[in-house]
Amino acid sequence: MNTKRLLALSLCLAFALTFVSLAGFAAPQKSQKQPERVRIPKEIKEMLAQGLPTRQGRQDIPFAIFKNYFFPTQVPGNMSTIFFFRAKNADLGYVPVQAPPAQAQPQAQPQPAQQPAAAPAQLQAHLHGFLEFHKVENGQPGAVAQEVYIPVALTEDPATYAPDKEDWYSAWAILPGGQYVLAMALAGADPKNPVYPDLNKVGVAYYEFTIPALTALEAALDTTPVFIVKKADQTQTPAMRAEIFKGFFSYSVLQIVPNLDNVVASGEAIEVFFFIFGAKLQDPVNPQSYQLEIQYEVRDAENKPALMWPAQTYSYPLVSQPLPLLQTVKITDDKGERTEQRNLPAGKYTLSIKVTDKVSTLSSEKTLAFEVK
């Protein structure tokens, strides 16, 4: 992974986000009420409501939501919330779609008749995603706070398609802080008209989660969930509408592949990504006048220090930091005393991230469990 490129991408995002007043996050502006749009058909809403009290979903299309991230947005008082779910290829309804035959070219001389090679049939799956967010009230899911409709089109190469392979996908929505239950449906496409859902093939899953309120985040130093980046690319324009992506998620101008299981190969560096809330600007008109110091340390399964890097300083609250997993070992033998760098041995570890804001003197610590194999 090109860490310099990812750092540059992060800087682009940092500039965009820090120009938004953090005080504005804490005090959302009032907006004019927009006309309510119906995004989920009543038949699907009935299916979502049926299993909501017990969180028991339908298994026509089995899938499971297993994790979520959140990041700040330029929408006052809201978070860009990413959800991850898993599903098997065989359950998504892939069917072959034959590519159109190539147009025959005129020949100057008669040629022997040849059997035209058939173009490989790509596999496609058309689905309809419906997300319904319920604010939790008195421990129970209340009225619908937001609903999202996402048409989905997936393709697979028939040469590598494996029916039993389980992949992960991401979906996202912009939500204010609070405790929620997500009721999500995946419906197949109607065979007669794919723009409509097939009401006879609908999977439903539920997921409970909490987004911290920005007012609380501004009162103390805190971060978004810390994760390891496998790969990141930049797009021409920021993501503006809800989509479902396979194998990555989108945040503003970044398309990021996270290391969801936190397992890395021996000798492989890790790169952590997170946003710091509650940091104070030294100069209110200079979005790069943060004074953040972060100490990274790795501890082994017995909580003994295994690796530490020099403290890093940052002038912006969005962090994309590469961390080489190399230990400096002192060796004494018949050749004398010397030091060598060795890969962090295989095992389970905890990364400690201690953040200190030099302007406000607030501090915070986050940990991330990972494994070297």
Distance CA 63, CA 2 (A): 33
The token pair at 297 is 């340390």
Max CA-CA distance within the chain? 85
CB 277 within 8 A of CB 223: yes
Distance CA 135, CA 141 (A): 6
**Per-residue model confidence (pLDDT) at position 37:** 58
Distance CA 99, CA 110 (A): 27
Distance CA 66, CA 207 (A): 8
CB 182 within 8 A of CB 40: no
The token pair at 256 is 């990021």
CB 70 within 8 A of CB 25: no
The residue type of 202 is V
**Per-residue model confidence (pLDDT) at position 328:** 83
**Per-residue model confidence (pLDDT) at position 114:** 59
Quick one: which of 131, 123, 126 has its CA closest to 195? Answer: 126
The residue type of 171 is A
Distance CA 74, CA 4 (A): 25
Q: How many CB atoms lie within 10 A of CB 258?
A: 22
Sign of CA dihedral 133, 136, 141, 145: negative
Backbone angles phi, psi at 12, to 5 degrees: -60, -45
Chain-centroid distance, C-alpha 364: 23
**Per-residue model confidence (pLDDT) at position 121:** 76
Query: DSSP labels for 38-55?
Result: --S-HHHHHHHHHHTTTT
Q: Length of the chain in residues, anyone? A: 373
Distance CA 250, CA 169 (A): 11
pLDDT in tens, 198-232: 999 999 999 999 999 888 787 789 999 999 999 99
Q: Are strands 263-264 and 363-372 parallel, antiparallel or unpaired?
A: parallel
**Per-residue model confidence (pLDDT) at position 112:** 58
- Sequence spans of domains, the chain: 3-27+39-97+120-372
The one-character DSSP state at 90 is G
Under-70 pLDDT residues of the chain: 1-38, 98-120
Which segments of the chain does DSSP mark as H helices, in order? 3-18, 22-26, 42-51, 214-217
**Collapsed DSSP state (helix, strand, coil) of residue 108:** coil
